[in-house]
Every structure is written in C-alpha cells, then in structure tokens.
Chains A and B, each alone.
Chain A
Amino acid sequence: MSDNYVPKSAVGKWFNERLPLLDLIYGHLMPYPTPKNLNYFWTFGGILTFCLVTQIITGLVLAMHYVADADLAFASVEHIMRDVNYGWLLRYIHANGASLFFMAVYIHMARSMFYGSYKEPRELIWIIGVFIFLLMIATAFMGYVLPWGQMSFWGATVITNLFSAIPIVGESVTNWLWGGYAVGSPLLTRFFTLHYLMPFLIFALVILHVWALHVPGNNNPEGIDVVKGSQDTVPFHPHYVVKDLFALVVFLIIFAGFVFFVPNLLGHTDNYIQANPLQTPEHIVPEWYFLPFYAILRAVPDKLGGVILMVSAIAILAFLPWLDTSKVRSAKYRPLYKQFVWLFFANTIFLGYLGAQVADGLFLIMGRIATVYYFAHFIVILPLLGYIEKTKPLPKSLSEPVLTKEEKEMLASGVTT
C-alpha cells in the first residue's frame, strides 16, 4: 500500500492538490505502521475518541433544551426527560457516556502504566494525556452541577470551597468564582459556558496526542522498539481498524446495557431533588470516578493539606516518566514492578471504595494508609525499582517470544518464513 493518497475522482484530485487534507487523514489511518502484537488494551484510544464525539453530539442537542439559571435549570432537565422527543434517551446517553468515558480512560491509563508506554520517547504523549485527563475531570464536574439537584449544588459547594483553603486570597477567589457570596445562578451560568467549551479543548489536545503518538509509533506488549516497515509492523488498515471496531461494538453493548436497563445505577438519587441551599444531604459523595481522589482529600485532617494532597495525586502523574527509573518498559519483563503495579491498581480501587464510605473511625485510618501507599508508589517504589530490580532478558523482535525452537533455528540459518 502506498503512503500517499491518490484520489480517484477528478474532484478529489482538484481538492487534494489545493489542500492535502485527505492525504493527511489517509496517512494516519491507513498505511500507518503498527506493531503486530497489540492486544485489546490498545483499542481504548479508539473507544475514547468515540466517547468524546458522543458526548459532544449529545451535549450539543441537550443544550438546545437546557436553561442555565438557578430557578429554571432543574425544571428544564425534567422537561428534557418528560417532554422533549427522545430527551430521556439523549440525556441518559450523555450521563452514562460520561461514566463510561472515565471507565475507558482509566483502563487506557492503566495500560500505559503496565506496559510502560509513558517512557522515552513517548513522555510527551503521556503528559498531553494527563492534561486531557485534567480537562475531563473539570468538564465532568461542571456537567454534574448543571441539573441543579442536591448533589449538583452541594458538590459544587464543596469543590469551589477548596479554593478558600488558599492562604490570604482564598475568600476573594471563591467569591470571584461564585460571582456572589454563595453558590448560585452566576456560578451555574459560567459552569455551563465552560462545560460547553472544554470538550473542544479536549478535542484539540486529542489531535496533539495522536500526532505525538504517530512520531515514534505505538508501544507494544513486549515494550521493545520496533522498526517501522519491518516484519514486526502491519498497516493500521485493515488490521487494527477491524480490531478497534470489534472492541467498540463490545463496548457499545455494555454502553447500551447501562442506557436502556440501569440508566441511574451510576448516578445518585439525591440529584433528583432540587437544590436547596438551606439543607445539606446526609452524605455527600461525588460521582464514582472521583472517589479515589475524594478519599485522599478526606484522609488529611487539615483543610489546606487535604487540598494540596488531592491536587498532587493527579499532578504527580505528569512526572511519571522520570519517577520510573527503569529502562525496561513492559511489566512482562519486570518481575517486581509487575507485582507492585497490580498492588497500585488494587490500592487505587480500594481508595475509591473508601471514598464512598463515611469518613470516620477505621475507614479514616485505612484511608490514610492507602493515601500514603498511593504516593509511596510514585516517590519511593518506582525510583528504587529501577536500581534493585533484575529484569528478564528482552526479545530481539516481536516474533521471537512466539516462535518455536525449530522456527528460531530456521531463522538463524537464514531461511525466511
């Protein structure tokens, strides 16, 4: 297959000569050389792109019916659910889509951690990814405020109050954010504006993310460098187009399961009660995808300390390429790291469980231990492992680990397969 797009129609030729846009898209989607051993964990990039586009399209149409005013927002969401044609479907796709977006992004990040995809020369891809993750957090949080239910209101109150922890200027900053002296209409309107803007910023970063990825090419489960165009790579189309589409279909089945059978499973019933500034719900919990970070916030008995630690928990991800001192990428060839990375995943999920509990007694103590371990993984375990771990020998090519002894001898004697 040729690297350059050759338009078949006269119109295509005319257009491509003046603006080689088709050339560009073709190059990144069709002949792009891809390692031949990518497993299903590599399909989440495509799934995430699909999620982003779904959120933008459903969000756009929901915005045609939603009103961003404290007196009208809750009713306008109920209006979408009851009166607008297929409004219930669009809103359930958008709400569950956010949850599945995070499920996919966590798997995508765990994949990078397990196979060392963030290491040289792919540091910048990872860092752009961390920024995308940050924007996703902000977008999802602001989106959750828009229905103006009890959880929306009190979630917004708790999170915007985090800024009051800043010494000296804290109060002025929170009043500036609120446009008043408490959470109310001005905040709702500006959150709606930003919630509308941020997905497009994410989209721009996704383009940079893919661009930066296509410079060195994909990492792979063996974590070794592959030579582009060698026997270790295959063209993206049709090999990975088909694999990605199959994974997407499986993902869509799960997505549809949530939307049509349990659309409120991941939500919170309190958010179907209109916001009341005079009454805090018994137990405020954020959406499930923020729970590990919420547990870290509550683990610290000091306001400013809790805020700093929670922000650091996300910011530290950006430094991962330098905190991990090992030259070997894949956990397959790092016997110690393999155990520690699983422990890290388990600890993060445990933090999520703790985030949903009432912060008292034993839960609080366990929350503190899990928080310490979370940071220890990055600033103690990862830097040390690079020095003390005895890694397994790396294969010379992607074929080597899967060849039989005879096949290897044939290769060594110069017979081509």
Chain B
Amino acid sequence: MSDKPVTRRNFLYITTGTFTAAGAASLIWPFVDQMNPDASVKALASTEVDLRPIAPGQSITVLWRGKPVFIRRRTPEEISEAKAVSLDDLPDPQDDADRAINPEWLVMVGICTHLGCIPLGQKGEYNGWFCPCHGSHYDTSGRIRKGPAPTNLEIPDYVFLNDNTIKIG
C-alpha cells in the first residue's frame, strides 16, 4: 500500500465511503429516538395533591408520570427515629432534613431502587418500608438500611403551594 502512489481513485473511494457512512449513521438517530418518552408522556409531568385528608401516621399513594409516589404524614416518633440515626450507619448517607422539606411530610417515589418493585409501608426491620421482591429494608426516612438496593428511595422535585397543597414535578 505504502509504495503505491495516492491516486485520484483512492481519494474518490475514501470520500464516497466516508459520506455514505456519515449519512447512514445520521439516519440511525430517528430510529433510536422514536423509542424515547414522547410528547404526550412528557406532558403529564406534574401532579398537585391536597394534603388535608391525611391524618398523622397515614400514607397515601398518588401516580406521577406513571410512577407511584408515597406521601406520608409522619408521627413524632418516626421523625425523631429518622433524625436520631448516625450517618455512619447508612449505606447511602443522607440527612433526614435533606429528604423532607417539612419534617412532618415525607414525599418520595415509591419504587425500590433495586429492581423497581413497590415497597410495603411500615414493615421491615427499620419500621419504614420493606420490598418483598428481594428483601430491601428502608427506614422511616425512606433510606436504604439493609438488602440489595443501592440507594435511598428517590425524592421527587416538589413544592408546597400552600400549607395544604403540594405540587410534584
């Protein structure tokens, strides 16, 4: 190859080949991207929830973007239990204050961070949530304590619109 002189034909081969490859590659994207969440799915991005009917020690589950979101009005014992935990005991260290805007209200995505099952409330060794699929235990702040799940239950973006209403998303 190296002893042969570079010809006009070599140049044509390489440029034709490069343009064909780049053209074909650019066409792959529409075929890949069509599988991503579409406009109608993205439009359902936020949910408002009225908190008034929930008594202390009660939880509700609402759907947000097709995912369950747990909203729990925690009892004073649960809050003090969550605050008392040393961060050194946590596989995914996070302070309870960083997980609840108002300590009385715990709002989190109710999907186990292991493989997506829905944990059962007020069960497990830490009196928080327990995932029946592969045995992950979460505490009263939804933090992973024991089992295969890698991280704490996810906290969605939410704001208090007033004292009784939150907007998730």
Contact = CB atoms under 8 A, between A and B. Distances in A.
Nearest to A285: B133
Nearest to B132: A282
- Residue of B111, B116, B117 ringed by the most chain A CB atoms within 10 A: B116
A154 interface: yes
Contacts of B36: 175-176, 179
Interface string B91-118: 0000000000000000000010011111
Contacts of B118: 278-280
Interface string A277-321: 111101110000000000000101111101000000000000000
B116 A157 contact: yes
A158 interface: yes
A33 to B, nearest CB: 45
A180 interface: yes
A190 interface: yes
Contacts of A217: none
A284 B118 CA distance: 12
Interface residues of A, number: 36
B63 to A, nearest CB: 7
Contact of B38 (A179, A190, A298, A301): A179
Contact of B117 (A154, A190, A303): A154
A284 B134 CA distance: 9
Contacts of A300: 148
Nearest to A279: B118
A302 B116 contact: no
A181 B115 contact: no
Contacts of B63: 277-278
B65 A161 contact: no
Nearest to B62: A278
B37 A180 contact: yes
B117 A360 contact: no
Given A176-B36, A182-B65, A303 B135 contact: no
Interface in B42-75: 61, 63, 65-68
A360 B150 CA distance: 18
B148 A182 contact: no
A280 B123 CA distance: 14
A248 interface: no
A116 interface: no
A177 interface: yes
B35 A190 contact: yes
A141 to B, nearest CB: 14
Contact of A158 (B61, B66, B133, B150): B133
Contacts of A183: 66, 116
A56 interface: no
Interface string A203-246: 00000000000000000000000000000000000000000000
Interface in B112-169: 114-118, 131-135, 147-150
B6 interface: no
A147 interface: no
Contacts of A75: none
Contact of A302 (B32, B115, B132, B150): B150
B71 to A, nearest CB: 13
B66 A161 contact: no
Contacts of A302: 148, 150
A416 B22 CA distance: 69
Nearest to A364: B135
A157 B117 contact: yes
A180 B43 CA distance: 11
Given A157-B115, A181-B67, A303 B149 contact: yes
A299 to B, nearest CB: 10
Interface in A167-199: 175-184, 186, 190
Given A181-B41, A277-B68, A359-B135, A303 B114 contact: yes
A162 interface: yes
A376 B116 CA distance: 31
Contacts of B35: 176-177, 179, 186, 190
Nearest to B131: A280
A298 B41 CA distance: 33
A158 B117 contact: yes
B65 A284 contact: no
A303 B116 contact: no
A179 B61 CA distance: 23
A349 B86 CA distance: 44
A137 to B, nearest CB: 17
Nearest to B37: A180
A298 B115 CA distance: 11
Contacts of A180: 37, 41, 65-66
A306 B148 CA distance: 9
Query: Closest 4 A-B residue pairs measured CB to CB?
Result: A182-B66, A161-B116, A181-B65, A161-B115
Interface of B: 32, 35-38, 41, 61, 63, 65-68, 111, 114-118, 131-135, 147-150
Given A157-B117, A278-B68, 5 more contacts: A161-B116, A179-B35, A180-B41, A190-B35, A282-B132
28 contacts: A158-B116, A160-B116, A161-B114, A164-B116, A176-B36, A177-B35, A179-B36, A179-B38, A179-B41, A180-B66, A181-B65, A182-B111, A183-B116, A186-B35, A186-B41, A277-B66, A277-B68, A278-B61, A279-B118, A280-B132, A300-B148, A301-B147, A302-B148, A303-B148, A303-B149, A306-B148, A358-B135, A359-B134
